[in-house]
Amino acid sequence: MTQVHPAPAPPTPRREHTQVSRKSWSKRFFGRPEVGSLMGAVAIFVMFYAIADPFRTPGAQSTVLYASSTIGIVTVGVCLLMIGGEFDLSAGVGVTTSALAASMFAFQLSLNVWVGVVFALLVSLGIGLFNGFVLTRTKLPSFLVTLATFLMLQGLNLAMTKLVTGNVATNSISDMDGFDSAKAIFASSVQIGSVSVKITVFWWLLFVAVATWVLLRTKVGNWIFAVGGKADSARAVGVPVNRTKIGLFMTVGFTAWFAGMHKLFAFNTVQSGEGVGQELIFIAAAVVGGCLLTGGYGSAIGAAIGAFIFGMTGQGIVFANWNPDWYMFFVGITLLVATLLNLWVRNRAARR
């Protein structure tokens, strides 16, 4: 218009009509889900590096990575599930259930431990299938379904162990057939230079890589984001929503199985009461890593960084000679701060 209006303020259209197709590098970077957790991880790393001398040795770093991997392996499954819009409270005790199942099955029937390992895998996948099936059939929220599973498994772990072994822990399986080969897979160490690194670290990194690949480069990955983002819409365009969700619960089962096997072959025996509370650590790690509780958003790498933060905090406290009783307190603070950081980063990225 050529008319001269008395200096109208520049119009600010309420809705953007078009989108700029080329984004700047920084905008892309800050748009990633894992940015907040990465910043947090760096900050915590620098803090411990500065205040705790022993933290600086390669050996200590290996320990940190090991602690992170034991959290991180299950977090991979939990994170995928969370992107798919659900979460699993039974993952923590599920780890113990798996270890107990393998140990007792093989020991009581005097079988090769590998038979127990396979049996435990079936049990863990079965728990996932059960969770997923009940959820998709009844449409109950996952909080309720998996809380029920969690309580049932907690009771089952203790009752079955007492029934079978007469004790609250399983018998040691270290002298049984196949133990050495299983330990090599699940609980050995690899020497890199002068540092010994636990094999779980490599498994963890592999799982994260696979999960990332699946999320970003496969149909199933698209489906996971879609069912978590808006399940009804996904169903309307032909995404198999129920199968995707059941598959995700079974994936959590798989990662819980793996963590359970590590536990079993690292310590030879399993305490039946373990694992309670761990499920929240997994969920917290995934959230710290940028997964939204509401689903549809997140990354496996972020969840790995989340697990690393918790692993590092747990070990860092020891290296810094603080009282380890404070561990959970720090976990809580980290969760809160990281979540706020994620929110802030996301809002900034959206605004720019």
Partner 1 sequence: MRGIVKLFPGVRALDGVDLEVRAGEVHCLLGQNGAGKSTLIKTLAGAHQPDAGEIIWQGERVSLSSPVAALKRGIATMYQELDLIPTLSVAENIFLGHERARYGFTRPAAARAEASALLERLGHAEISPDTEVGKLSAAGQQLVSMARALAHDAQLIVADEPTAALASDEVDNLFRIIEELTAEGVAVVYISHRMEEIRRIGHRVTVIKDGRTVAANLDARETPGNELVDLMAGRKVQAAFREGGEGSAEFGDEMLVVEGLTRAGEFRDVSFTVRAGEIVGLAGLVGAGRSEVLETIFGARRPDAGTVVVGGKKLRPGSVSSAVRAGVGLAPEERKSQALLLDMSVAHNATLASLPGYSTLGFSQRARELRDATATLERLDLRPADPRRPAGTLSGGNQQKVVLARWLVRGCRVLLLDEPTRGVDVGARAELYRLIHELAASGVAIVLVSSEIPEVLGLADRVLVLREGDVLANRPAGELSEADVLDMVMEGSAA
Residue numbers of the site for partner 1 (CB under 8 A)?
1, 8-9, 11-23, 217-223, 225-226, 228-230, 232-239, 296-297, 350
Residue 90 CB, shortest distance to partner 1, in Å, is 26
The sign of the CA dihedral 44, 49, 52, 57 is: positive
d(CA 275, CA 220): 30
In the complex with partner 1, which residue's Cβ is closer, 275 or 295? Answer: 295
d(CA 107, CA 342): 47
Least distance between partner 1 and beta carbon 19 (Å): 4
Exposure string for 54-82, b = 16+ CB within 10 A, e = fewer: ebeeeebbbbbbbbbbbbbbbbbbbbbbb
Among 81, 136, 65, smallest CA distance to 254 is for 81
| Nearest distance from C-beta of residue 234 to partner 1, angstroms | 6
As measured in angstroms, the least distance from the Cβ of 303 to partner 1 is 17
Q: How far is the CB of 338 from partner 1 (least distance, A)?
A: 20
Q: Which is nearer to partner 1, 16 or 175 (CB)?
A: 16
Contact 272, 100 (CB under 8 A): yes
Query: What does DSSP assign to residue 186?
Result: H
- In this complex, which beta carbon is closest to partner 1, that of residue 20 or of residue 163? 20
Name beta bridge partners: 195.
192
Its sign, for the CA torsion 296, 209, 287, 125, is: positive
Minimum CB distance to partner 1, residue 222 (Å): 6
Q: Which is nearer to partner 1, 22 or 163 (CB)?
A: 22
Q: Which is nearer to partner 1, 71 or 292 (CB)?
A: 292
CA 45, 185, 162, 132 torsion-angle sign: positive
Nearer to partner 1, 117 or 241 (CB): 241
User: Residue 342 CB: number of other CB atoms within 10 A?
Assistant: 25
How crowded is residue 236: how many other Cβ atoms within 10 Å of its Cβ?
A: 10
The least distance separating partner 1 from the CB of residue 211, rounded to whole angstroms, comes to: 15
Using alpha carbons, select from 342, 304, 337, 309 the residue that is nearest to residue 80. Answer: 304
Two structure tokens written together for 42? 């760096």
If the CB atoms of residues 87 and 119 are measured against partner 1, the closer one turns out to be 87
